[in-house]
Homo-oligomer: A and B are copies of this chain.
């Protein structure tokens, strides 16, 4: 990488692993490291590990990054870059930006991990060039991000676009958040696994195939196993996946009517594992959303896959550096 080239380090900090990548201004990942987070060692050790990984990439690059962007699985106070609350890391009100800046001496930008992935898809993925988009990431949980009028929405306390917690069924099952009928409680990976376990216990005959795939351990049934069983034609699994698809269509219709995006981008592990459902969801939304919102809409799979978070976080650091330069 030539010394004059603008690049940054993007970090995706989750409860299980830390992804660190060297990303250029065009969104290309040149090198990456993956380390276990081991949050049980405490915040200081997690930060030290992250800083060491950043330094390693920096040395390899041979020139200085514009900054470091970090997407953290948790609620972020954006001005001071404090992690207000991260259940995955077990952190509360943890200073983060300041500590990283002190150790590394370059600009640090901290954001939420799903927000970072939204930036990634917007600037370098399926949302390129689009001023109005909704990203929905369907994994174990469901998260999202919204760009409207060329601005990433942040909201009053930087928690806008908790799209897994829009209600799609007023009488629906309870969600991890305490409310009921959330999109996540019908279509998140944890919910699919839970519904499958309940169905297997209620009706062992219908659940025989799923149970066999899970080694006869109901607790070992995962959303991945349900998806695999559905591909094999197991009727219970097909029914469960069908309910998930209907919930995703319903949630997407709400979001399309509420935000009127030009593009609706579907990503996350569940979607990556069942890419054919993007077309199903697209057809359902086109039929059920208001005509004026449905007509211009494109529903697309995410393009950056696992890299969306590090690419988006790095892009934020590059933008911050460019703004800093412009203002000075």
Contact = CB atoms under 8 A, between A and B. Distances in A.
Interface string A145-164: 01011010111111111110
A297 B146 CA distance: 20
Contacts of A258: 146, 160-163, 166, 255, 258
Contacts of A254: 165-167, 254
A296 B262 contact: no
A262 B156 contact: yes
Interface stretch (A36-44, A171-179, A189-197, A312-320): A171-179
Nearest to A243: B170
A169 interface: yes
Interface string A129-155: 000100000000000001011010111
Interface residues of A, number: 53
A29 B42 CA distance: 60
Interface string A21-63: 0000000000000000000000000000000000000000000
Contacts of A146: 258
A261 interface: yes
Given A169-B170, A261-B155, A262-B156, A162 B132 contact: no
B246 A170 contact: yes
Nearest to A292: B159
Interface in A89-112: none
Contacts of A154: 148-149, 260
Nearest to A144: B258
A172 B262 CA distance: 27
A153, A158, A257: most-surrounded residue (chain B CB, <10 A): A257
A141 B225 CA distance: 44
Nearest to A153: B148
A177 B260 contact: no
A160 B260 contact: yes
Contacts of A292: 75, 84-85, 157, 159
A157 B250 contact: no
A155 B260 contact: yes
30 contacts: A75-B292, A84-B292, A132-B156, A153-B259, A155-B259, A156-B260, A156-B296, A159-B260, A160-B260, A161-B258, A161-B260, A162-B260, A162-B290, A162-B293, A163-B257, A165-B254, A165-B257, A165-B289, A166-B254, A166-B258, A167-B253, A167-B254, A168-B168, A169-B169, A169-B170, A170-B186, A170-B246, A170-B250, A179-B288, A179-B289
The 6 A-B residue pairs with the shortest CB-CB distance, nearest first, are A155-B260, A156-B262, A166-B254, A160-B260, A165-B257, A162-B257
